[in-house]
Structure 1
Amino acid sequence: MANDLHVALIGYGLAGSVFHAPLLAATPGLHLHTVVSRQADKVAATYPQARVLADPAQAFADPAIDLVVVATPNDSHAPLALAALAAGKHVVVDKPFALNVAQAQAVRDAAARTGRVLGVFHNRRWDADFLALRALLDDGALGEVAELHSHFDRFRPQVPDRWRDREGPGSGLWYDLGPHLVDQVLQLFGPPLAVAADLARQRSGASATDYFHVQLRYPRLRAVLHAGALVPGHGLRFAVHGTGGSWIKHGLDPQEDALRAGAVPGAAGWGRDPRPGTLLRAGDDGSVQEAPSPAPAGDYLAFYAGMRDAILRGAPPPVTADEALQVMRVIEAGLLSDAQRREIPFP
């Protein structure tokens, strides 16, 4: 532990307590040294060895801290990341990277200027289903993809009283789930030609976006990203169709539920999806036959192992600032498209 990177986690809400803290604690070479939170009792109950502070500035000023993880409400991501970088710390920012492209560029430029490692927590690159889809595309099993439908639906008819569901900067589903779905498509297919978005508030009493239907247009491919809060039959995760076949996936990656239940990341069976996708191969005669589908295990630990290696060994960060900035460009284009009710050409 003496040679471990000392980590300060800023924020101990859903993102901090369910995702970041357990993954940090389970990653060799990282030590959860400090948690900045007003919930000292809650932190101490699970991580008694961690120091608890009330003010992020105290953590930034501590020379013992190597890495700062920003897991706070979205509107504070960029200011806290900039402050941590100015103090000479390496930084992880939870998604979304920032509220807009200008903020994201400022954080990226600050990391380059200070020579610090900056990563953005797009953890769903390591979902079991996404890894399976990537393997299928790398293998050419689907031929040239013409349609990708990526869903992250839920049935939550009551509006929770939390910042994510209140009107305000960075709230709503497009900021919450949109970055995950956008990042996955950009990883597979690169930047689109244009973005067309429909954002809505569908639930009674909703003050923040709780529905989005967004199309990323490519020369041939149409990638449709969809999320809603009024979907009782919310089983579909992916439907991908190409000249060589289709891949259909129901159910979400199991890692979030496992983390919520207190399971230890990396334990036996970690990340194994109980509902692997269905691969349908198309024959030259127009026939369609089911074939074995890849079923890799999800691995959120890979993100923090990658951050450790980037800091200690000079490896590329697992999610680079430029990649996260490109996600923010799509998020911003989606907001503009919805506001102007038109397709926005992508730079």
Structure 2
Amino acid sequence: MTGVGIIGGGRWARVIASVLPQVWAGPVTVCSPGHPAAWDDRPTGWRLASLSDVFADPAIGHVIIARRARDHAPTVLAALAAGKAVLVEKPFCLTRAEADAILAAGGDCQTGLVFLYAPNQARFRAAVLSAGRPERIEVDWADPAAEWRYGAAKRHDEALNVVQNMLPHVWSLVRPLLDGPLNLAAASTANGGQSVTLRLHGAADVVVRLHSNAAGRVRRLSVSGQGLDAVLDFAREPGDAVLNGAVLDVATGHSSPLAAELSAFLYGPRHPLGQVAKAVEALDLTLQAMPRIRAQQAAALRQGEGLAALREVALGGVAGDGIPSDRAAVARWLGMDEKAADFDAAWRAATGGDGRAHNPATGN
């Protein structure tokens, strides 16, 4: 029996650690390169190691990576080079160059898309596809500013735009309902890019509405077509579903999607869309959308609106590639004078008053 390694020390890494014993009784090694003390309260018998020790240990065959998004690609590449089977949380990388490097590396690499394994989603998909062909799909997805999930406060990575953060999950809801890929038709923003509406074209027309810092949690999937009208509302799992006016049971047999995903990673069978070679479609959609989103964010900022967007860009880079931008680069992107009083005031407000951007997300 080979061991399992968990790399990361933030909330989601610890959620994974809490669920893993449901499906795995073997040795576990944990590692948080940026915050080793995060694992001071690790379960008895679990080993704490450095990143290099995890990669060098031949007894660790499976590695689960849940770090900050900007750290995912180099960690994945190092794990694959060490011959590990990899499960990396979404987004598995932030640029096409990173994705191409991961794909070229070969090896066994999955990305964390728990809804591919959710029993309520599987039952809903099966019922929808047996009733007719989807022609229009709508997804409403919102996260509140503060939320308590899995026994801890949920915080998003402020360096990520809502599309970078949420679209992989949305793609995993929509893509199994369709034959063939999706392409971006339009992207519009509000609230400095904290709210984004995407219109996608493929085998069906898809409308995706994403919101961060919303009033409440929203998870709603609607599917329509000739003789087909279905809705799954799963803000509270397993949720409530209706198909052509009749209540659809999505609760019977429901269990932890994360436990199912971890079990599939360790033992199989795995969902084919979880392989990075397929999940790169979600990244490509994101990369199609981001230039339009950034342009709209810049226009709002030049009008003195959307300080959250300025903080996002200061943390994540104007290209959305996970590389922090400095003040001068952001000013050039906006077409503003770095020394101007209005830019200085906005920059200080967005970065906490000291002119430097600090990301509170603890995914290391």
Q: Give the alignment's TM-score, normalised by structure 1.
A: 0.73
Q: Report whether the alignment pairs 1:240 with 2:220.
A: no
Secondary structure (helix, strand or coil) at the match of 1:239 reads strand
1:144 — aligned with what? Answer: 133
2:129–2:177: 8 Å Cα contact kept in structure 1?
A: no
Which structure dedicates a bigger proportion of its chain to helix? Answer: 2
In structure 2, the partner of 1:186 is: 175
Provide the C-alpha distance between the structure 2 equivalents of 1:197 and 1:133, rounded to a whole number of angstroms.
Answer: 28
Q: Which residue of 1 aligns with 2:32?
A: 36
Shift in CA distance, 27/72, structure 1 to aligned 2, threshold 3 Å:
same
Residue by residue, what CA displacement relative to the aligned partner does 1:262-312 show, whole Å, maximum 9, x if unpaired? xxxxxxxxxxx2x32122x2xxxxxxxx223131525322222222235xx
Could you tell me how far 1:214 is from its partner in structure 2?
Answer: 0.8
**Match of residue 104 from structure 2:** 109
Aligned-partner Cα distance in 1 for 2:265–2:234: 29
2:106 paired with 1:123: no
CA distance in 2, matches of 1:337, 1:49: 49
Tell me if 1:304 matches 2:262: yes
CA contact (8 A) 2:167 2:282 kept: no
What's the TM-score once normalised by structure 2's chain length? 0.70
* Counterpart residue number, 1:345: none
Residue 225 (structure 1) shift: 1.3
C-alpha separation in 2, matches of 1:192 and 1:94: 22
How far the C-alpha of 1:332 sits from its partner, in A, is 0.9
Give the Cα separation in 2 of the matches to 1:175 and 1:30.
Answer: 34
The answer to whether the aligner puts 1:153 opposite 2:142 as a matched pair is yes
**Residue correspondence of structure 1 range 165-176 to structure 2 within 5 A:** 165=158, 168=159, 171-176=160-165
CA distance 1:25–1:317, shift in 2 (3 Å): farther
Aligned equivalents of 1:318, 1:225: Cα separation in 2: 19
Q: Of 5, 15, 23, which residue of structure 2 is paired with 1:27? A: 23
Deviation (angstroms), 1:136: 1.9
1:45-103: CA deviation from partner (whole Å, max 9, x where unpaired) = 341211123x3122112222111211100001000111111122221111111011221
Q: 1:42 to 1:98 in 2, by over 3 A?
A: closer
Post-superposition shift, 1:131?
2.1
Change (3 A) 1:32 1:198: farther
The structure 2 residue matched to 1:164, chosen from 150, 157, 172, is 157
Deviation of 1:106 (Å): 0.9
**Residue of structure 2 equivalent to 1:85:** 80
Query: Is 1:10 matched with 2:7?
Result: yes
**1:196 partnered with 2:180:** no
- Structure 1 stretches lacking a partner, 5+ long: 203-208, 255-272, 282-289, 342-347
Is residue 195 of structure 2 the alignment partner of residue 211 of structure 1? yes
Partner Cα separation in structure 2 for residue 155 and residue 303 of structure 1: 25
Distance across 2 between alignment mates of 1:188 and 1:301:
23
Counterpart CA distance in 1 for 2:119 and 2:24 is 22
| Cα gap change, 1:194 to 1:317, in 2 (>3 Å) | closer
**Would you say the 8 A contact 1:81–1:93 is kept in 2?**
yes
Q: For residue 222 of structure 1, what is the amino acid of its counterpart?
A: D
Amino acid at match of 2:187: A
Structure 1 residue aligned with 2:240: 276
CA RMSD of aligned residues (A): 2.9
Task: Give the Cα separation in 2 of the matches to 1:293 and 1:68.
Answer: 37
- What is the CA-CA distance between 1:34 and the residue it aligns to? 3.0
CA distance in 2, matches of 1:130, 1:295: 8
1:135 aligns with 2:119: no
Pairing 1:247-266 to 2, within 5 Å after superposition: 247-254=230-237
The answer to whether the aligner puts 1:222 opposite 2:215 as a matched pair is: no
Aligned to 1:286: none
Kindly provide the amino acid, as one letter, of the partner of residue 291 in structure 2.
L
Alpha-carbon spacing, 1:66–1:239, altered in 2? closer, same or farther (3 Å):
same
The 1:291–1:328 alpha-carbon spacing in structure 2 relative to 1, beyond 3 Å, is: same
8 Å contact 1:306–1:317 — kept in the other structure?
no
Percent identity, aligned pairs only, is 22
- Aligned residue for 2:352? none
* Preserved CA contact (<8 Å) 1:239 1:249: yes
Q: How far did 1:40 drift?
A: 5.1
Q: Is the 8 A contact 1:30 1:308 kept in 2?
A: no
Instruction: State the Cα distance separating 1:329 from its structure 2 match.
Output: 1.0
Contact map agreement 2:184 2:198 (CA 8 A) in 1: no
Contact kept in structure 2, 1:35 and 1:50, CA below 8 Å:
no
Read off the aligned partner of 1:304 and give its amino acid letter: L
